[in-house]
Amino acid sequence: MDDKSSVGLGHYAVVMRRQWKTITMLTILGVVVAVGYISLTPVNVTASTLVNLNVIVSDPFSPAKAGSALLDATTETQLATSYEVAKAAAETLHNGDSVEALRAGVAVATAANATTMKISFTSTSDVLAQSGADAIANAYIAYRQAQATAKKEKLQSQLSDQLTALDTRLASANLTNAPSIQAQLGSVQSQLNLLSLIDTSGGSVLNPATQNAVTYAPQKSTVLATGLLGGLVLGLIAAFAVNILDRRVRDWYDVRGAGAGPVLAKLSLAKASVPAVGKDLDSFRVIRERLLADVGKHLRVLTVIDETIGSPSDVATNLSIVLAQSGTKVRLVLMGVSDSEMRAGSNGMQLVTDDPQKGTVVFRSEVISSWSVLRTAPTIAGSGADDFVTEVVRREIVSQETGTLIVLALPPDAPHASRLAAGRLSDSVLIVGECLRTRIDALAENAAEMKDIQASLVGTVLVPPGRTVSEPPVRRKPTKSKHMEQEAASTPA
């Protein structure tokens, strides 16, 4: 199997895995429709009677052709389904079926190179179908016999009249005419003798309807199988259509298709904390190790582009924390974050103001000494080189100490110019995508832009939909009770 075949089969497998709910739903719908059809559609029962037709020939002892060759299938079919046959069959039945109902329910099939015929009749029950098939078969055979007998009797009558006339002529004939009249008498008598030998029976019933299996329509198994297969096919078509129209990111397949690099990690917790704990902590450590293995000592500035919907993701903060825990001095640069987002994003890190400057606030963590946060103040739109990657951020990168890693955290609403500026100033770029909310086109656009400026895109981190960071509760200072205040006042200094 070549690579193209592998990719094609892989694509089909991915689509079916993603859209299994759509496929299952439509498959079940197909079965439900089939069950409904079976419930609402009246059951039709078809019974069959097999008859053998008698071929009527003038000389039964030396036929010129085979019996099957002397039968006209079209004529016999029209006779079996005729009004006269149906009328005769209706007279023998006592179930109230009309002539029109009998004609509507009858079907005839003749066998090639044979004198047999299968007469089928469809009704609402086994008994009605079997009795109808037998009645029509018997009426048809009787009709053929009656027609043949009538023709035979007519010929016999004509020949008898000829014979009587010849006898009269012979009585008054002279010696010259007598031999000729006697020859004619012999010929007519011979024809009468042959005519008397003709069998005018219409045929016989080989297998009555009660001896043959009946068929039911609709057949439950066939209808259910059709509904199941139809629903499955419709589900597959809908799955591929939905997959084409739905451009939301789901997993590594979409990320790879967008050209946004490998998925460094797919976080599973919908509620994030700072610092990360549990499964999230292990995932961020995996990201750290993959980054360090890929870039290593050359990683000085890392840009995190946030493509989540709503508030900023915790990925940049928690990733910078685990990088600092590995012994690297890390400064996280937060751009465009609000006070509440700042509090939620620093939960548990015990930040204290370290070096307030014009347009910035630097926080130092009392938990991890090698980790600090630089929060840039908002600028007037259009007043500087960039609304997010401000002059302060650029100076921070230029004056970066040796061995220090700067993580630039762009908010979700950062414009393309800011992303390009951050990517150009960075050694590596990482994208954060939100499953089922981030658009594949957005990842592809970011990847293309980073490629245009020759920025190194190391990969993408996926977070679950609606992932939020809990804001830490406000801690209140403990207050002294009245009793404690009185005791303190009475205690000598």
Crossing angle of helices 73-80 and 126-171, rounded to 10°: 110
Angle of CA points 90, 212, 47, to nearest 5°: 40
- Structure tokens, 441: 């086109």
Model confidence at 52: pLDDT above 60: yes
User: Per mean pLDDT, which range of 179-188, 226-235, 463-472 is the poorest?
Assistant: 463-472
Model confidence at 57: pLDDT above 50: yes
Phi-psi domain of 291 (left: phi exceeds 0; alpha: psi -120 through 50; beta: other): alpha
Amino acid found at 398: V
Task: Let me know: does 48 contact 120? Beta carbons within 8 Å.
Answer: yes
3-state secondary structure the chain: CCHHHHHHHHHHHHHHHHCHHHHHHHHHHHHHHHHHHHHHCCCEEEEEEEEEECCCCCCCCCCCCCHHHHCCHHHHHHHHCCHHHHHHHHHHCCCCCCHHHHHHHEEEEECCCCCEEEEEEEECCHHHHHHHHHHHHHHHHHHHHHHHHHHHHHHHHHHHHHHHHHHHHHHCCCCCCHHHHHHHHHHHHHHHHHHHHCCCCCEEEEECHHHCCCEEECCHHHHHHHHHHHHHHHHHHHHHHHHHHCCECCCHHHHHHHCCCCEEEECCCCEECCCCCHHHHHHHHHHHHHHHHHCHHHCCEEEEEECCCCCCCCHHHHHHHHHHHCCCEEEEEECCCCHHHHHHHCCCCCEEECCCECCEEEEEECCCCCEEEEEECCCCCCCCCCCCCCHHHHHHHHCCCCCEEEEEEECCCCCHHHHHHHHHHCCEEEEEEECCCCEHHHHHHHHHHHHHCCCCEEEEEEECCCCEECCCCCCCCCCCCHHHHHHHHHCCC
Question: Residue 123: how many CB atoms within 10 A of its CB?
Answer: 22
Amino acid found at 35: V
Model confidence at 341: pLDDT above 70: yes
Percent of the chain with pLDDT over 70: 87
Q: What is the mean pLDDT of residues 338-348?
A: 72
Model confidence at 493: pLDDT above 70: no
Listed ranges 1-10, 199-208, 351-360; the one with the highest mean pLDDT: 199-208
Give which of 420, 419, 320 is closest to 370, Cα–Cα.
320
CA distance linking residue 246 with residue 243, whole number of Å: 5
Query: Residue 358: what pLDDT?
Result: 56
Model confidence at 60: pLDDT above 60: no
pLDDT digits (tens, 9 = 90+) for 396-436: 898 888 889 999 999 999 999 999 999 999 999 999 999 99
CA distance linking residue 208 with residue 84, whole number of Å: 21
CA distance linking residue 144 with residue 53, whole number of Å: 9
Task: Between 212 and 383, name the one with better pLDDT.
Answer: 212
pLDDT digits (tens, 9 = 90+) for 443-465: 999 999 999 999 999 999 999 99
- Structure tokens, 142: 């009787």
Crossing angle of helices 83-92 and 126-171, rounded to 10°: 120
Q: What is the mean pLDDT of residues 143-169?
A: 89
Give which of 310, 304, 358 is closest to 330, Cα–Cα.
304
Listed ranges 348-352, 354-358, 362-366; the one with the highest mean pLDDT: 362-366
Model confidence at 480: pLDDT above 70: no
Confidence of residue 381 (pLDDT cuts 50, 70, 90): low
Query: Residue 3: what pLDDT?
Result: 47
pLDDT digits (tens, 9 = 90+) for 132-142: 999 999 999 99
pLDDT digits (tens, 9 = 90+) for 264-318: 999 999 999 889 999 999 999 999 999 988 886 778 999 999 999 988 899 999 9
- Max alpha carbon distance in the chain (Å)? 185
Query: Residue 111: what pLDDT?
Result: 86
pTM assigned to the model: 0.65
Model confidence at 384: pLDDT above 80: no
